[in-house]
Amino acid sequence: MTTLSGSMTALATPFKDGKLDEAAYTWLVDYQVTNGTSVLIPMGTTGEAVTMTPAERRGAIELCIRANKGRAQVYAGCGSNSTQETIDAVKVARELGADGALIVTPYYNKPTQAGLVEHYRLVAKAHPGFKLMAYNVPGRTGVDLLPDTCKRLCEIPEIVALKEATGNVLRTLDVYEQCGERLTLLSGDDFVVAPFIFSGGKGVVSVSSNVAPRLMADLCAAALKGDITTARALQLKLQPLHRLLFCESNPIPVKMALHLMGRFSTEIRPPLTVMTEPNAQKLKAELVALGLC
């Protein structure tokens, strides 16, 4: 089984005149895989999946897989607060040739911990043998996948990884204590990649790597080798970029960054809005400082 490790990118989605900008998306996929990104993740939060139609999401996943040409793994975002809709979305991703699916915990309806386990169990039952990456991001979903619950998820063979986005390194240790090597732990927070990996993680599902894939790939590689000095230096080098890419709701800043790099339009779907000009100027200055713009 192909392992999951290193820098993985939650891809931003470029729009042009209200539709997927296929040329820009193809460029982004190539930019990632030629700069060390090991897994492409279309249709996550960063990809604005929640404001896209099922047909649009299908088109983006299909283009990602086609542009990738088998170079990196592709885990398609398929999560929903409806278990049946999640099952249906995984079916689409599987038929298109994705390697796996990213499944966020159901948001808004606040299931219990038992309900979370049942959600993942039913998705896995509907797709035996297909790899699933659970995704815990309580700041957005209103529900927290607790370490004890992660241990219960280990009983589901299809769940191979957990994207843990609390930003709490103690949580990483708690989950690792419960699950050991059974689940591949991936940071969902760019600010703590180095300490996360040193605490048992294998990599990151990153927003910032849309913009700086080589730096993030090098950071993960250094941390995975146990090179504390290099990993810390790269983490600190990227912190100003991370702060700017999260100073407004994701993916507002990352889409502006890719625009400033000359690759995306400024289009973003409501209710999100284009980044404010003062923040955009600060972001541009940091991109120039990193040699990205």
Return the active site residues. 135, 163
Please give the DSSP secondary-structure letter assigned to residue 272: S
Rounded to the nearest 5°, which phi and psi values hold at 219? -60, -50
Ordered DSSP codes for 48-98: TGGGS-HHHHHHHHHHHHHHHTTSSEEEEE---SSHHHHHHHHHHHHHHT-
How many CB atoms within 10 Å of residue 199?
18
Contacts of 147 (CB under 8 A, 6+ apart): 171, 174, 175, 177, 178, 179
R_g of the chain, CA atoms, integer Å: 18
